[in-house]
A and B are shown apart, each in its own frame.
Chain A
């Protein structure tokens, strides 16, 4: 995939021209998207001559349909999300959160966590920047929990493989978990457990606020599509291949006893298993989606997903630079507990 050589947007030219290109790209995207199903069926059943009723046939058709569908969805939706994100920056989010009280501040921080561009490698400067400007620790944590948990790749893949209801539930529970966990951490008054050097830094003050043209926004969004899709596409393909195998070969209801809603221990186990799987969120979702078809329950699956993206080992290690071990432990413990509670809640309600 030679994405890096693609240059969709010329950096000069009339601004309307870039809107023209976007329009064309959207039409092409829609056409392609609607062609996937007939093409996948034709390839699997006519070109390869597989029997739709056979295990191999249904696995292959599933794979040929899901891979292009998910990759197209990822490209299109990440482009849109990235354009929206060019209107936000950590600096602007910090300014919006300044002086907000507990509760509302936590919820706003969690919501802004979705739209603010964030990479866990920037967690430390962001943490210092927030805390230094007087944003309470609990509100800062609401942001730090929501930003990686309500992750754009996870949202798009949940939407593509489970539908908008599950994607919506995922976003809503991510918001609730981040808000609640932030409030709890804030109430624990753990300012002493932030590394001392953080309090000595004088960082608040002038910032660069950029004003971008639409062309620049589109160009940046396209850059992030290339970066994100370039990073996850292989995991997506592998994940869907495994998922397709499960879809075709595993008997129905095989997992009801171990991952169904009556297996009480499945939620904590799912959370424990999810933590080390960080970088593979893109590959995990298609597998999980196939497992759900075979009897795994929604609460267990959502808890697993949240643990995969929200509680990642690399982020914990990075945050250790600014948080003392006690606060790290509280952070991981509170988030894990919140995820487990959410998992049970969905298992009982649904």
Chain B
């Protein structure tokens, strides 16, 4: 099972990233847990400088933008392949 974290303090873009990520998970039909990280000290542990950030199995895959569903699908499948 994948652990996915959405980093962001709850702005509109963070919510959008979360919903796109959930869509990608649902379409792939995989098991994944989506956790929202909203506290800055926790967000900054991932060394990002712009939100929203997306973390798949503790690896930062994007920050400061909302990747497309296709892009997120690639992140997820490559994380599954490891």
Contact = CB atoms under 8 A, between A and B. Distances in A.
A220 B49 contact: no
B13 A203 contact: no
Contact of A125 (B13, B48, B65, B70): B48
> A interface, how many residues as a size bin?
20 to 34
B28 interface: no
Contacts of B44: 125, 128-129, 201, 203
Nearest to A208: B60
Nearest to B53: A125
Contacts of B8: 121
B47 A121 contact: no
B49 A129 contact: yes
Interface in B46-76: 47-51, 60, 63-65, 70
A91 interface: yes
A119 B47 contact: no
Contact of A121 (B11, B45, B48, B65): B11
A119 B8 CA distance: 12
Contacts of A125: 40, 43-44, 48-51
Interface centre among B12, B50, B63, B65 (most CB of A within 10 A): B50
A126 to B, nearest CB: 5
Nearest to B14: A121
B61 to A, nearest CB: 8
B47 A90 contact: no
Contacts of A220: 65
B41 interface: yes
Nearest to A133: B49
A11 B44 CA distance: 32
Nearest to A321: B40
Contact of A117 (B9, B11, B40, B64): B64
Contact of A124 (B9, B12, B60): B9
B70 A122 contact: no
B47 to A, nearest CB: 5
Given A117-B64, A122-B50, A321-B40, 6 more contacts: A11-B70, A90-B64, A119-B50, A121-B8, A128-B40, A203-B45
The 3 closest A-B pairs by CB, nearest first: A121-B11, A129-B49, A90-B49
